[in-house]
Amino acid sequence: MNIVEISSTQNDLVKYCVKLQTPKTRKNEKLIFVDGEQTILGLIEDNIQFEYFFCLKNSEVSKKVKTNNLVYVNNEILKKISTTKSPVDMAGIIKEPIIDINIFNSLNKIVLIDGIKDAGNLGTIIRSACAFSMDGIILINDCVDIYNSKTIRAAAQNMFKLPIIHIGEIELIKKLSKTHQIISTVVNSDTEFKDLKIPEKFILAFGSEADGLSDEIINISDKTVTFKMANNVESLNLGVCASISFALIDYLK
């Protein structure tokens, strides 16, 4: 492990941390900047290897973390590289996980999210999917970056517990439809979610709040389901809707 200490906010590594927070650079570098105690401790607990770990020199966490480079910094630098307005006392850079899409062939309970734009909603969905034993998540079409800092915080230590991929084409879903039933959540359907018979292998699909599911997904679905709501409530927040669905499936199975 390489150990260094930096004290200037103009240091090249500090500038790199800031640059890495832009979607284009993050995706090109295939690295993820993470910060905040809750997130960091969760990653350490999951035995995640850091490329760089930034903390104060007296930090006890530095004795527990697995990192290639331990970088001691001051509060000014932590403030400079932080993704939040609140002060942080540690941050890090990790490699984007490499996920073989073929793993989804062996998963039973797959979540499909079409066109999600809100990072907080995605984090909520990831957190709930972990809580209620979903097996994996596929994003399709134009979606927010999976590793957006807001998504990571909203996932609350659960970001790397499930395989999550982003695909641009529907071919993988068509292939999986041979072994999995595709269940699409829509506004209007003859089947209520509470009456759904849960198959052993399925893909549960959700669309964005603004546009719903695309026709290409609905057209290859085996069935559609909806939530019947009282008091003239027209729709639910996507994160809330998905979370209720996962809990119901966990209960109904």
Out of 41, 72, 95, a domain closes at: 95
Tens of pLDDT, residue by residue over 35-57, are 988 889 999 998 999 999 999 99
Residue in the structure block whose two tokens are 């290409």: 216
Alpha-carbon distance of 127 to 137, in angstroms, equals 11
Residue that finishes a domain, picked among 95, 116, 136 = 95
Backbone φ and ψ of 11, nearest 5°: -60, 145
pLDDT > 90? residue 156: no
| pLDDT tens for each residue of 182-239 | 999 998 888 888 888 999 999 999 998 788 899 999 999 999 998 887 777 677 789 9
- Examine the domain organization and report whether 163 and 133 are in the same domain: yes
Q: Does position 165 have pLDDT exceeding 90, yes or no? A: yes
What is the residue range of 197's domain? Answer: 101-252
Q: How many residues does the chain have?
A: 253
Domain tally, the chain: 2
Same domain assignment for residues 210 and 175: yes
pLDDT at 89: 92
Percentage of residues in the chain with pLDDT exceeding 90?
A: 81
CATH of the domain at 35: 3.30.1330.30
Can you tell me the mean pLDDT for 54-75?
95
pTM equals 0.92
Task: Verify that 80 and 156 share a domain, yes or no.
Answer: no
